[in-house]
Amino acid sequence: MSGGLDALRTRLAEIEDLRRVAGLLLWDQQTQMPPRGAEARAEQVATLERLAHERFVDAETGRLLEAARAVEARESPESDAASLVRVARRDWEKARRVPAALAADLARTAALGQSVWAEALARSDFGHFLPFLERTLALKHRYVACFPEVGDPYDVLLDDFEPGMRAAEVAELFTALRDGLVPLVATIAAHPAQPEGAASLHGDFPEDEQRRLLEAVLPRLGYDPEGWRLDRAVHPFAFPASQRDVRLTTRFDRSYLGTALYSAMHECGHGLYGAGIDPALARSPLDDGASLGVHESQSRLYENLVGRSRPFCSFLLPLLRERFGAAFAGVDEEALYRGVNLARPSLLRVEADEATYSLHVILRFELERDLVAERLTPADVPEAWSAGMRELLGVEVPDDAHGALQDVHWSEGMLGYFPTYALGNIMSAQIWERLRSDLPDLDGQMAAGELTALREWLREHVHRHGRKFGPRETLARAVGGPIDVAPYLRYLRAKYGELYAHAAA
């Protein structure tokens, strides 16, 4: 009954339109809006999101999904039509479980959280944030209770960001990751902070010049000036208003070149995923990444596996000399490579290098899981945080601002989100190993700033599927197997073993 499917398609397309418009308003809020617009903007976004949600959970959507069962049975499960029905039904059944009043409570609390968190962070006072965190956890328990068949409560939260992934599976992966990383990081920490001859990205780099550097670099990755934008934002993000209208943001730090360059390459990786989805899936719930973890695998791949590679540094160096001559006059490619790969245990996740980053994530996952299972009370988080940082990274947390208050996620109600960062790291290395064997001249291409074959490989093997398949199947299609930490550990040991002699031991 294609008539049934047409009506379903139209309905889902309108809902998707509402969501993208809400996203565009949020993009505007972060990049253009004068501060006094905040109050009205919150109402505008809430209205659009409510309309989209109501229209989606409506019984009529259910009726159309029911009518589409025939299409689903007739078509191959890999077809766009069957995938649309399957994914939309899963989303619908999940959304219907949550009572509207609870959904509104969750949304309202999340909207209020940011200012409470910002104030607590400014005062470095976890106690100021504590009542908010307690309220959020109570709401999350009510949310978890909407899915009584799920055994581990953390699975419910994780599923919102990494569909189908279980907390026990993450715990197993993270144990292997931790066992590999802790000794590697300890060896790095025992060496001088600066490997011999490393270039410094610290200095004086005017924003205009940094912007011109990005205008030279990003198009090599696939940024299309006719279909993309780059704006400034305090917390960089990427948002595809549509597949042909991709909004990137970055942050400029005049005294450190690495901030804008690597955050822009990271967000460009997200943008390429959004732009690379099959156009046939546009204006549908399939027009998005398979999961946040798979999305992060794409951003990390461009930021780190490309951006911090030796060949890419040799492409980058002449551009740096052109823009910032004096600062890079005496620097050679090897020094630049060493300079962009400095590693050191530190307090802040967002400033962490490749070797230490995942340990920050593992700590958050363990604390969240204990909080949700009520093995840890919110008041005890700062102490548990300090103990974890000591154990995993060997650093002492001086205050809450550099400890349990540093991330915005909990203030936005996003519990279950953190693991996706490390899952993205793990998957990025698996995908990288696979694509390197398919593209034997990749190093030469990166050194020439020629990244078209790389982008096409990712589009063909990852991007084009959008949300047709879950993260597990999307990864399996790209690399031929399940998620595995071995390639990521191999990559880090090889890289840092060479940079910090003996670190591979």
Nearest residue (CB) to Zn ion, 291 versus 299? 299
Residues numbered 452-471 forming contacts with Zn ion, rule: CB under 5 A: none
Least gap, CB of 266 to Zn ion (angstroms): 6
CA angle 17, 164, 177 (to 5 degrees): 115
The interface region with Zn ion, picked from 165-173, 243-251, 292-300, 311-319 by CB under 5 A, is: 292-300
Nearest residue (CB) to Zn ion, 61 versus 474? 474
Instruction: For 494, list phi and psi in degrees, rounded to 5.
Output: -65, -45
Nearest residue (CB) to Zn ion, 295 versus 323? 295
Looking at the chain, how many residues does it have? 505
- Nearest to residue 306, comparing CAs of 447, 430, 440, 441? 447
Within 8 A by CB and 6+ apart from 133, the residues are: 378, 381, 410
Q: Is 423 left (phi over 0), alpha (psi -120 to 50) or beta?
A: alpha
Rg (C-alpha) for the chain, rounded Å, is 23
Q: Which DSSP state fits 281?
A: G
Least gap, CB of 298 to Zn ion (angstroms): 9
Amino acid at 42: A
Nearest residue (CB) to Zn ion, 247 versus 338? 247
CA 402, CA 121: separation in Å to the nearest integer? 9
Does residue 167 contact residue 304 with C-beta atoms inside 8 Å?
A: no
Contact with Zn ion (CB under 5 A) among 249, 263, 297, 299? 299
The interface region with Zn ion, picked from 58-66, 251-259, 298-306, 457-465 by CB under 5 A, is: 298-306
Least gap, CB of 398 to Zn ion (angstroms): 27
Least gap, CB of 240 to Zn ion (angstroms): 14
The interface region with Zn ion, picked from 15-23, 101-109, 170-178, 291-299 by CB under 5 A, is: 291-299
Least gap, CB of 292 to Zn ion (angstroms): 8
The interface region with Zn ion, picked from 111-119, 190-198, 293-301, 382-390 by CB under 5 A, is: 293-301
CA 176, CA 167: separation in Å to the nearest integer? 14
Nearest residue (CB) to Zn ion, 247 versus 323? 247
Q: How many residues bind Zn ion (CB under 5 A)?
A: 1
Residues numbered 89-148 forming contacts with Zn ion, rule: CB under 5 A: none
Nearest residue (CB) to Zn ion, 210 versus 299? 299
Strand ranges inside 31-78, DSSP E: none
Does residue 335 contact residue 196 with C-beta atoms inside 8 Å?
A: no
Q: Which residues are catalytic?
A: 267
Q: Which DSSP state fits 449?
A: T
The interface region with Zn ion, picked from 216-224, 299-307, 392-400, 443-451 by CB under 5 A, is: 299-307
Does residue 374 contact residue 349 with C-beta atoms inside 8 Å?
A: no
Amino acid at 364: R
Least gap, CB of 380 to Zn ion (angstroms): 30
Q: 49 is written with which tokens?
A: 């999101």
Residues numbered 401-430 forming contacts with Zn ion, rule: CB under 5 A: none
- Give contact residues for Zn ion (rule: CB under 5 A): 299
